[in-house]
Structure 1
């Protein structure tokens, strides 16, 4: 009788099962191209999804990371999976803060996306790679500014961040008292004008005149309308020290530091006649050594020169009714009457005027047309 072998059958069945299982594993063992932040590696994945692939490579996705295709996508042989991690970029541009997330590893690309031109000043090299921890940068864009200092006005394009930076880059140092039109920490802005003023303080010593006063006393022994100097006046003097503030070489202010009188002024004393019966007015002819000829003409000129005020002294260097300067008055002999014309009487002033008229006519008087 012929025997039946079951073991081989079982073996065949097992072999068939093993063959079938081995075929399934072969089908599921997929070749995958995995690219992470631009770095590509070849990977093998036994079926599953993109999420399974990432888990197998210990890749955890954050809120700002990007994967393609989507995590739930089934893996197939030859699959390409790309992962780009999010990176935070903190950029301060011309003092204004900007924070953004990007999957780019190129700082240059991010700056281009922010509109930062190539000629801007960036705190980090534009070719720097942005790592996963992110990056912080400061950007200063070029600006047209005008700098005025030391007698020069310069217009330039600058990528300096502040006024202080601009001064430093142009070799301008400031003294303790120098002034700048903007605070040193002020950020530069387009079209800004910065002016530097050099300030110096000087101690100036000078000798100044102390003008003397005049005291008039009525005297009834003198004819009315006449005056007589009974005590010659004399100006005094004083030494004065000033603190003078100069701004760009021009005096801005001065204040007195010290003052010392070196000679006191002497008050001039004048007797003013009050005795009645003396002639005056527009009389003509010579009396008591006085020459009153042309008196009416001189009255008209005086009315023009000084509104007829024979004792006027406005401090302009011209004195009396006919506005004599001191050199002319003394040169014509006026000193025999008074040190200045305004201290002499009308008649004495007319007498001196006649002396000058005899030599030079009316040319010394601006109001000659009133004659």
Structure 2
């Protein structure tokens, strides 16, 4: 019998080769419970939950102190032998106990596999700054939210938000930048994800060869954006002095383009379009060579005629109290020739030299008498028919005589008439003719005077 208080169990029968550990075999050695000193007998009390507990073993009778020491040792050895047999039986595998443990191990192994499968290695590039990370996010949206990357309406995310992720994928975020650009005179605001002026202009489709840029092409565009003025190279034709000059220019104004073509404006020279306007591609600009002078002319200013009623004068009688006099003004005209062609004179200044003087006339309002004693019985109709054909406004070819009875102006006014006889009424003309007959008889009408007597 071994001197060790523990028995060893070997599943292989027959003689065994000597152990490198001497008398200690690590494969068959018994496991000692935690907290139990080595050499103290240990009983395995584990029972699965589904196995009913074994009935407690009755306690051993106390060793009598009066027994001889040999009997005490013998009784102790008997008890040790029984415990060793129980331990030997407990070392045999119990499949009912191993089954729940196997299920727990399998569950833990499956969970670990699923945990590892959801972990993804992703490269996240935010505005040109890449980094590799591990994530459990299912798609791009969840990844950006987990990483605290906020995107706006003008930002670009590739692949698009919501796209499912797989290990090894790359996600790029490009932030939008506002660019306030004045392109060939037209202002607008656009957004770009480019980082430099040159890349942004290429994205906008702007040709920079030969163009004027207010900022360097290599200028970086920050998140706050920038303002830039761009003038592309254009073709402009300038017509001057009978010759056409076509140039390529990025000038800001038509005037600058004309100067770039080597054309000088002198004196009153001007252009067919405003010099400050923006030159368009394919535009034709004409230089207008202007020569000019001034001319002064004098013009009469008509006078007014002011008439007032006079009851002391017979109707149809007018008396001029103040003769009218025209005024005088001096007018300055600008005379121009454009490319050798004379233009219509343009009035540039007016100066009044003398004010006009109005003519004052008194007009009779007293009714005219129709009867003149000593002349009412005569045939005045026959005389009028002979002198003027019976027309009150008749005038002879020389312009000296007028009216029904062909008065000259001096005779007419001496009889109290005003103005010209042909402008008076037929009644007034007959009245004046009767007065003339009383004064001078039929003599004033040498050819037709005999008609008065029928």
In the superposition, the TM-score normalised over structure 1's length comes to 0.43
Q: Which has the higher contact order (CA 8 A, sep 6+)?
A: 1
- Bigger radius of gyration among the two: 2
Query: Which has more strand, going by share of residues?
Result: 1
In the superposition, the TM-score normalised over structure 2's length comes to 0.37
